[in-house]
Chains A and B, each alone.
Chain A
């Protein structure tokens, strides 16, 4: 088991690395880019919301801010379309973090369900701002400098940058889980007042987690803007983004490391595939509805937790069988 885990992780990574080398159809690589982007976003969201239990439905605030950073900086600085724009991605992440400070300071004044509602309200404030402010170009959106890469090659650089983001977000999330800070987030999830009485600076810890998780979300927004070449307020400040990210984490396994990656992979890839395969672009919504009902009914803690419980239960049953039935010993070895 100790060796199986790193092997599985490196195998998964290897598959993701070679994917665009084998599958060259732009329709497929485009699905790959968006899937990786959502995997990174969900992992980053989970690093705060999954660990602390504070479910944020305002992640599009940071995604949208990152997208607008990319659009505004690249157009105002008259940058040429091309790989140089990738340098703006970390800038987009940093801007999202700066915005997350006041947003978090307001939203984290309240707890649990009220927090969810406040994040939704703040999200709509940002969406309205993007639609109505003059510097955002309003509802007409912004076109960023055109990137002249051939259609067959266009997605590949985006794919690897998005993969880099997934790796970054996963490593960061794993590091947080192992740190004292991560333990404090988990303590806050289980009993915030008790944690406070054991010396945990809950306000500072929550705000730090919230701001940290905005970084990758902002970077993803920057990448998305660059990929699309243009942005509109309703597409980057999109309420379905808020919900999708949260649902991906719940499907895969809220608060686990692998869960958000799996949830993002399954949901985004299947959504993109269904949208492209059927003329009715909203069919996926019905299928997703059914899927979520099934998950909530049968695996309320998500796929990862359900599978690992099943796996452990199976191992225990085998052990039990082995101790009670001598014939089973031979069968198992």
Chain B
């Protein structure tokens, strides 16, 4: 499978900390790729570099064959890369449906925004459809700030989806969410993947990752340690080493349970 989104030898430091030290990552078209690693291994920085929020010092990012290494986040989004944030970010003081409408046009000139209304009929329909998909349509007119944490996660997923991106980067979609909702979210991701969407997912919940990902990359100290299928990664001694001694021992538990 060809790589849809690819990072090659990316380096980025913050002060003396090498958040990324020559990390490579490729996301195949139509796949669900997992990105795991201990806390502080550089997963979120990788997301930030791939979506234009942080500029890499070295290395390249390409999407669909185009070099997007130093492109702005809005440009990258316009090309078809959508993302969510680890700490859920919504527009709290506008309504749920207005949150959706912000994202409906991923590549529209800003001048056009001056002369047109907030939404067209088709945009409103699409927004409602995706709200329905995540089960929030009856809250459409509510102020988004009044949503619960889980509902915010779903709203964030919905407004990334409404723009119809080709690849979606999810930063801890299962973090701080109850079990029922985790299952619901993983079902949605699998359904969307069947429909042709590509995913890159950062997640600490190993069960979640092992269940839905086709391919997993493990990061450690800013480098990509191992890439393979969930079963291969799980059996790799280097991965166990990376996790041992860190506060994150979920993978160990997995092994014990097996």
Contact = CB atoms under 8 A, between A and B. Distances in A.
A182 B115 CA distance: 10
A183 B94 contact: yes
A178 interface: yes
Contacts of A201: 74, 110
Given A186-B93, A194-B85, A200 B117 contact: no
B108 A183 contact: no
Give the most central of A181, A186, A198, A200: most B CB within 10 Å.
Answer: A198
Nearest to A189: B93
B113 A181 contact: yes
Interface string B156-186: 0001100100000000000000000000000
A190 B145 CA distance: 10
A197 B94 contact: no
B102 A195 contact: yes
B89 interface: yes
Contact of A196 (B73, B91, B118): B73
A183 B120 CA distance: 13
A199 B94 contact: no
A35 to B, nearest CB: 30
Given A197-B74, A198-B163, A200-B102, A190 B108 contact: no
B208 interface: no
Interface residues of A, number: 25
A174 B102 CA distance: 18
Contacts of A183: 94, 98, 101-102, 118
Give the most central of A182, A193, A196, A199: most B CB within 10 Å.
Answer: A199
Given A178-B118, A197-B73, A197-B74, A205 B102 contact: no
A193 B47 CA distance: 14
Contact of B89 (A180, A184, A194): A194
A128 interface: no
A72 interface: no
Contacts of B117: 178-180
A275 interface: no
A213 B168 CA distance: 37
A197 B118 CA distance: 18
Interface in B78-119: 78, 83, 85, 89-94, 98, 101-103, 105-108, 110, 112-119
A199 B74 contact: yes
A77 interface: no
Give the most central of B51, B77, B91, B163: most A CB within 10 Å.
Answer: B91
B53 interface: yes
Give the most central of B72, B92, B114: most A CB within 10 Å.
Answer: B114
A286 interface: no
B94 A187 contact: yes
B103 A198 contact: yes
A180 B77 contact: no
A180 B93 contact: no
Nearest to B145: A190
A208 interface: yes
B113 A196 contact: no
B48 to A, nearest CB: 10
B93 A184 contact: no
A204 interface: yes
B116 A180 contact: yes
B114 A191 contact: no
A132 to B, nearest CB: 38
Contact of A200 (B74, B114, B119): B74
Interface string A166-192: 000000000000111111101101110
A258 interface: no
Contact of B93 (A190, A194, A198): A190
A193 B53 contact: yes
B113 A184 contact: yes
Interface in A15-73: none
B51 A180 contact: no
A202 interface: yes
Interface string B115-147: 111110000000000000000000000000000
A281 to B, nearest CB: 39
A242 to B, nearest CB: 25
B116 A179 contact: yes
A331 to B, nearest CB: 30
A182 B118 contact: yes
Contacts of A181: 110, 113-114
A193 B51 CA distance: 12
Given A183-B94, A190-B93, A190-B94, A204 B110 contact: yes
Contacts of B113: 179-181, 184, 205
A115 B118 CA distance: 27
Given A178-B117, A182-B118, A197 B53 contact: yes
A308 to B, nearest CB: 13
A208 B103 contact: no
9 contacts: A180-B113, A183-B101, A186-B93, A189-B93, A196-B72, A197-B51, A197-B74, A198-B160, A201-B110
Given A189-B93, A193-B53, A205-B113, 9 more contacts: A179-B116, A180-B116, A183-B118, A184-B110, A190-B93, A194-B85, A194-B90, A199-B108, A200-B74
Question: Would you list the 7 A-B pairs with minimal beta carbon distance, nearest first?
Answer: A190-B91, A180-B113, A201-B110, A181-B113, A198-B103, A194-B89, A204-B110
